[in-house]
Chains A and B, each alone.
Chain A
Amino acid sequence: MTTPGITQVLLAGIMVVIAIAVARYWRLPVIKDMAFGSVRGFVQLVAVGYAVRFIFDIESPWLIMLALGIMMTVGAHAAAGRVKNVKGSFGISLAAILTGSLITLATMLVFKIISFDARYIIPLAGMIIGNSMNASALVIDRLASDLRGNRLAIETALALGKSWREASQQFHRDAARTGMVAMLNFLKTVGIVALPGAMTGMILAGADPVEAVLLQVIVVYMLLSATTITSVVAVELTIRRFFTRYHQLRTNL
């Protein structure tokens, strides 16, 4: 494969043109989004490329921390934007993503699976935060929707003397599972149907496939840990917004 340059990127734009032509033929109402999204994606990725190169060159731990902080804040903001009508969803997402990401990254650093090097930390944190962001948004949305839709079931349990945790336990489990389900499905098909991104990227860049696979296994375990922790923290923080300390389901949900 030719090392990608601006010419190859422009030529790859042909595929966007084909996609837009297909959408136009079928009158799909997504043409604007496709065109705008393709340009925006290009600009964002190029900007990130230069930013990451800058961080790699400086090699300052503070700069790495700052980059992680920005990534988590943006991730939490995006997750909160996908959740409807849950007060404090930004704070919940930020806390959940922060906990999931930091515990996972710290584990990898403590056990020397990776070194504190921007070249490892930044891309791996990007994967962790991206997956945690999706998990957080799915968990908060599912839990809020289940609690709103099952008011009678929950209040029946509360009226029979159950605690808020007992009355809603089915819904926390379902919501936590929702946050993890994409990862669990991925684990079932990884290597058989789907060749994951990190591994594919390494192979395309000329690395030995076995080395690429080993890195991919680390990435998969890392994402499993991060999405699980993020999901559980998101459930724990969201559920408390819906109940009072007197085991009452809030009326202004």
Chain B
Amino acid sequence: MGVTGSVLELCNLTRRVGDGTPARAIIDNFSYSFGSARLYSIIGPSGAGKSSLLRLLNRLDECTDGSVKFKGRDTREFAPCELRQRVGYLFQTPHLFDRTVRDNIVYAQPHLSESKISCLIQQVQLPSGIVDAPVDNLSVGERQRVALARLLATQPEVALLDEPTAALDPANTEAIERLISSVVTDHGVTVVMVSHSRQQVVRLGGEAILMVDGKLIEHGDAVQLVKNPGTPQGRRYMNGEPQ
């Protein structure tokens, strides 16, 4: 797993919401660099702004101040549709369009070849016969894999995953975690994942980023940060104490 330069660079990123004076900052002066082909887990208490941060990275939401650079260029210089294919996003509860597995996989890439579709189905460890099945008949775990295959079909350079295993049982969680690791190591995709599980962050390794109240509190090696946090807020979070 080679680290080569920064793929996403956040500089004083801030998002304020609401009509208050001043408006409340849900992302507060956040600066960080995400390296290429690496796995990052964003952790922190509920309401810390983890999902809000993810939404700024592919411009599903607009920042109020600061900037995000993708491969050295401000994301505002990209056409939003192009940026979002290169910086993919998987929602916590993925929405599948009410059709077949194939229709969902080719949704963003209508000219995808049959062999590529089969390859994606295999990559997310779904049985090959499932490709023409209606999505209504799928289990929660299978739906998550279809959504992941659909995301990978766009060949993103960065994958933003918002708690991808939150609704899954342990067996499916383990399978999706293996898949996430393989996306990083075998396909060179940078994965930025929101997680609520400290155990999961340790299992997956890579880097971890602790957020509280929209601010970056600390970051570093995932195992180190979970087991031996370097800040009082980090220790409180890891001990399950209120912030």
Q: Which of A's residues lie within 8 Å of B, judged by CB?
A: 152-153, 155-163, 244, 246-248, 251
A158 to B108, CA, bound (A): 10
A-B pair number, CB within 8 angstroms: 51
- 16 pairs, CB–CB < 8 Å, chain A vs chain B: A152-B95, A153-B95, A156-B95, A158-B60, A159-B58, A159-B89, A160-B84, A160-B150, A160-B151, A161-B82, A161-B85, A161-B154, A246-B62, A248-B60, A248-B61, A248-B62
The answer to whether B107 has its CB under 8 Å from any CB of chain A is: yes
In the complex, the answer to whether B91 meets A159 with C-beta atoms within 8 Å is yes
In the complex, the answer to whether A161 meets B93 with C-beta atoms within 8 Å is no
- CB contacts (< 8 Å) of A247 on chain B: these are 80-81
A221 to B41, CA, bound (A): 61
Q: Which of B134-193 contact A (CB under 8 A)?
A: 150-151, 154
Taking A160-B150, A161-B108, A162-B108 as contacts, is the C-beta distance between A155 and B60 under 8 angstroms?
yes
In the complex, the answer to whether A251 meets B17 with C-beta atoms within 8 Å is yes
CB distance from B231 to the nearest CB of A (A): 31
Taking A161-B84, A251-B17 as contacts, is the C-beta distance between A156 and B94 under 8 angstroms?
yes
Taking a contact as CB atoms closer than 8 A, the residue among A152, A157, A160, A162 that contacts B93 in the complex is A152
CB distance from B151 to the nearest CB of A (A): 8
In the complex, the answer to whether A156 meets B81 with C-beta atoms within 8 Å is no
- CB contacts (< 8 Å) of B88 on chain A: these are 159-160
Q: Which of B62-82 contact A (CB under 8 A)?
A: 62, 80-82
- CB contacts (< 8 Å) of A246 on chain B: these are 59, 62, 80
Q: Which of B102-122 contact A (CB under 8 A)?
A: 107-108
CB distance from B157 to the nearest CB of A (A): 13
Which 5 pairs between the two chains have the least Cβ-Cβ distance? Answer: A161-B85, A160-B108, A159-B89, A156-B95, A247-B80
CB distance from B111 to the nearest CB of A (A): 14
In the complex, the answer to whether A162 meets B81 with C-beta atoms within 8 Å is yes
CB closest residue in chain B, given A167: B81
Additional pairs, 15, CB under 8 Å, beyond known A160-B150, A162-B108: A155-B91, A156-B91, A156-B95, A159-B58, A159-B91, A160-B88, A160-B151, A160-B154, A161-B82, A161-B108, A161-B154, A162-B81, A248-B59, A248-B80, A251-B61
CB distance from B100 to the nearest CB of A (A): 16
